[in-house]
Amino acid sequence: MPSTSIDNAFVPGPITGAASDPTYAGALSFMRRKFSKRVAGADVIIWGIPFDSAVSNRPGARFGPQAMRRASTIFDNDPQYPFERDLFDKLAVIDYGDFLHDYGYPNRVPRLVEKEAAKLLRTDALLISLGGDHSVTYPLLKAHAARHGPLALVHFDAHQDTWPDDGKRVDHGSFVTRAVREGLIVPDYSIQIGIRTHAPESHGIRIVHGYELEDMTVAEIATAIERRVDGRQAYITFDIDCLDPAFAPGTGTPVAGGPSSAKMLGVLRRLTHLHIVGADIVEVSPPYDHADITAIAGATVAMHYLGLAAERKVRRKP
């Protein structure tokens, strides 16, 4: 069907409701949401953090937010699978654009991310962040914990990210160590899914290893997550390298032996009872991608976050 309008990202109109831009054209906000720095009235804020100066292997995740916005055009105006609804019928979502920083001062980035995230969280909107490398999750957790208290961490990744940290480094491999040390997360209610490497410390966090996933059903994995979180407020961080490189080649530290995108998206779909107060998707590196495979997977993870938020809003409606 021909589109009836274009550039929904910046034309006047409400911040609810589906767009009708053609898939191949139009302003590339995430899922065609309004680009806006005015956050009043938004249920969800999409925010890009194009920072990758903390990687230990392949760079390029600074282009992740841009790539996921572009890939999100594949979600057309039909009800979104598997949620069977127009996600934006009742859910008000804006694309806040990207975090701005001076690349010459990478050590300033964590504090600046935390400060801006804290400002956005004062609206009580759900903040969904598009990374960027995994170091950005640390300041995001600081801002969310300041707002909500210590959180349960639901961490999809091939790596534990629990390497030693002196408190000064900016490193994508130690954000969990710092979050535990500073009391931002509660290890007894936190879980890591898809781990396929060894790190020196687990900090008491439940680990579901990559090969273990192969022997579990989607329902069993989702149940393990919900039982571990046990009703606490949760932050979800999804490192795209949780997926096998066959499904996410465009990432900085790929590890073979991981799950499919279908399996992990199925897990996300079942987390309907999780009280999610914040979420991110990180480590999408377009220079190592092919045919937008990884960007599409990352955008679909973020779409699932929105689907869960839309369902939660409907359930809470008086």
Cβ-defined contacts of 99-107 (< 8 Å, 24+):
99/47, 99/48, 99/49, 99/50, 99/51, 101/51, 103/53, 106/51, 106/53, 106/54, 106/170, 107/168, 107/170
d(CA 23, CA 260): 25
Task: Flag whether 203 is marked binding.
Answer: no
* Residue 239 is labelled as binding a ligand: yes
Distance, in Å, from the CA atom of 236 to the CA atom of 143, rounded to the nearest integer, reads 14
157 is in an annotated binding site: yes
CA-based max dimension of the chain = 57
Q: Is 166 annotated among the ligand-binding residues?
A: no
Q: Is 230 annotated as a binding residue?
A: no
The encoded tokens of residue 19 equal 């767009």
Residues contacting residue 315 through CB under 8 Å, at least 6 positions apart: none
Instruction: Name the nearest CA neighbour of 215 among 168, 287, 263, 251.
Output: 263
Residue 273, marked binder: no
235 CB contacts (<8 Å, ≥6 apart)?
Answer: 140, 141, 144, 151, 152, 153, 154, 185, 276, 277, 278, 279
**Strand arrangement, sheet containing 191-195:** 34-35, 93-98, 44-49, 126-131, 275-282, 233-239, 152-156, 191-195, 206-209
Q: Which residues are annotated as a binding site?
A: 134, 157, 159, 161, 239, 241
Residues marked as binding for Mn(2+)?
Answer: 134, 157, 159, 161, 239, 241
